[in-house]
Copies of this chain bind each other. A is one copy, B any other.
Amino acid sequence: MNGAQALIRTLVDCEVDVCFMNPGTSEMHFVAALDRVPEMRGVLATFEGVATGAADGYARMAGKPASVLLHLGPGLGNGLANLHNARKGNVPVVNIVGDHATYHKRYDAQLESDIETVARNVSPWLRWSKTPGDVGADAADAVVAAMGPPGQVATLILPADVSWLDGGEVAAPKPAAGRQPVGTDHVEAIAGVLRSGEPAALLIGGSVTREAGLVAASRVANATGAKLLCETFPARLERGAGLPNVDRLAYLAEFAMMQLDGVKHLIVVDTKPPVSFFAYPGKPSVLVPEGCEVHTLAGLTDDAVGALAALAEAVGAPADGATRQDASRAERPTGDLTADKVAQALGALLPDGAIISDEANTSGIYLPAATAGCPPHDTLNLTGGAIGQGMPVATGAAVACPDRRVVSLEADGSALYTFQSLWTQAREGLDVTTVIFNNASYAVLNMELSRVGAEAGGPKAKEMLDLADPTTDFVKLASGFGIPAWRATTGEEFCGSFERALAEPGPSLVEAIIPGIV
C-alpha cells in the first residue's frame, strides 16, 4: 500500500469521505488511489477556490469536514480566500496540499515555492508528511484538529514521494475533543447580571445558531427582557416558521451601534464581541457601547448550547418560553424588478428545507424580513468577508444534502469570482438554483466610498466600482456550462423563472436584473 492509499483509507475511516479537488502532476498518485478506496468521493473543481469553498459549505451542512486536494503553493493561493472564510467561520476543513517529492524541492523547480508560509495564513494546524508510514497518522491527527472545537482548517502537506512510495500505514480514527462544559457558578453569575434589570443583550454565534441554541437563547431573552442578537455572518443559521427568529447584528457599524444602543451588559455566547468590519475615519472600531460590560457566557471551545439551556433554567424561563416564528408567505411581487421584490419572491416561493447560500451582499438586505416565515431553512453566510464564497459554498452544501434544494443568492460582483462553481454543479448534477442579483455594480463599494470619507468620487474612481460596460450576461455564462437559465426583469418573470428553475433536476440559474442601489 502506498502513502496515498493509506491517506485516503484513513480519511474514509475517519468519516471524511468527500474530497473536493483540483489536482496536478504532484497529486497523480492520490488521484490514482481513488479507485482503490471507492468510499472516497472525488469531486472535481475547475478552480481551487471552488474546491475550498465547497469543502466549507459541505462541512457547515454535514457537521464533519470534507477534504480538499490542491496543487502546490499556487493551488493553495487560488484556494486561500475561501479557506480564510472557513477559518473565520470556525468550519473544519482537511486541507491537503500536494508538494514536490522531498528530494526534488532543493532544485527550485518551476512550481517550487514556500507552501508553509501561505498555509499559515489560514491554518493553525499544519504538518508536512514525511514518510508513507506517517501519512495515515498525520491524516487522523488532521481530522481531529479540523474538528476542534472550534473547527479549523488543518493543512497536511503531502510530498509526491510520500504518496507514491510503499509502506503506507492506515491509522485508526482518533477521538475528537469535546466542548468543555461551562460551570454552574459561571452560569449563575451571568444569570445574576441578567436579573439586575439593567439593559442587556445576548449576542450568539457559532454552535448556538441552530434550533437547540436558538430556543434556549429565546427563552433567556423572553424571561429576562434581554435583547437577542446573532453575529452578523453566522456560518449556518437555522430559521423559518416554528423556529425562534433572531436579528443579526448589522454589517454597517452605524446600524449595529443603534442595535446595541443603551445596552449595559452584552452577554457573548460562542462568538466574539463585535467590531467594525472596517475602520472609518473618526469612527470607533469596537461596537460595544461606552459603559457596556461584556460577559462571555461560553467561548468558542465551550458547550455553549448547554450553557444557554442552563442559563434559561437559572433565570426561571419556562420550557416552552421561546418565541417561535409564525408561518407566513410574502405575496408574489409584480412590476419592475428590484432587490426588494426578489426578496419578496423568495419569501413567496422558497421551498421547504431550502439551504440558502447568501452572498447577495447589498442586494440581500431585504431577505431576512421577507423570508422569516418561510418553511424551515438554513442560511450560510459570508463568514470571512472574502467574496467569491457563495457559489462554492452552495456547491458543497448540495453535496452534503442531496435531498434539499440549495438556493445560491449571488451579487454580480461576487459571482464573477468563482463562477466556475457552476461547472462542478453541472458535473455532479447538484440541485442548486442560483439567483444573480445583477445591478452591474460593486454597490457595496459605491456605498463604502462615501462611508470612508473619501472625497466625492470622480469619474475615474466611479469607473473602478462599476460593472457595466460590459454588463455581464449571466444567462449566457450559465449556458456555457449547459445549465438552464432565465433572465427576469419583472416580479412576474422572476417568479415564473424561479419556479421553473426549482423544478429542474440539477443546477439552474435565474438572473434578476435590478437597478443599482446607489
* A residues apposed to B, CB below 8 Å: 21, 23-26, 28-29, 31-32, 34-35, 38, 42, 44, 46-47, 49, 73-75, 77-81, 84-85, 87-88, 100-101, 103-104, 107-111, 113-115, 117-118, 120-122, 160-161, 164, 232-233, 272, 275-279, 281, 285-286, 383-386, 388, 413, 416-417, 419-420, 423, 426-427, 444-445, 448-449, 451-455, 457-461, 463-465, 467, 469-477, 479-483
On whether the beta carbons of B74 and A77 are closer than 8 Å, the reply is no
Q: Determine how close the nearest CB of chain B comes to the CB of A340; give it in whole angstroms.
A: 24
Kindly provide the distance from the CB of A230 to the nearest chain B CB, expressed in whole angstroms.
15
- Please state if B103 and A460 are interface contacts (CB–CB under 8 Å): no
CA distance A75 to B451 in the complex (A): 21
Return the contact of A459 from the options B25, B35, B47, B78 (Cβ within 8 A): B35
* Docked-complex contact B427 and A420, CB < 8 angstroms: no
Knowing A35-B459, A78-B81, A164-B454 touch, does A386 contact B111 (C-beta < 8 A)? yes
Contact B84 A452 (CB under 8 A): no
Offer 26 A-B interface pairs, CB within 8 angstroms, sorted by A. A23-B464, A24-B448, A31-B457, A34-B464, A35-B460, A49-B78, A74-B80, A74-B81, A74-B84, A74-B386, A77-B77, A77-B118, A78-B78, A78-B417, A87-B113, A107-B285, A111-B386, A113-B121, A113-B122, A117-B118, A118-B121, A160-B278, A164-B452, A470-B483, A472-B481, A476-B480
As for how many copies of this chain the complex holds, the number is: 2
Given contacts A42-B464, A108-B272, list 17 more A-B pairs with CB under 8 A. A25-B278, A28-B452, A34-B464, A44-B463, A47-B416, A74-B384, A74-B385, A84-B113, A87-B113, A88-B110, A104-B275, A110-B232, A114-B121, A426-B469, A427-B469, A471-B482, A477-B477
Q: Is the CB of A423 within 8 A of B477?
A: no
Question: How many Å lie between the Cα of A189 and that of B32 in the bound state?
Answer: 50
**B109→A470 contact, CB < 8 A:** no
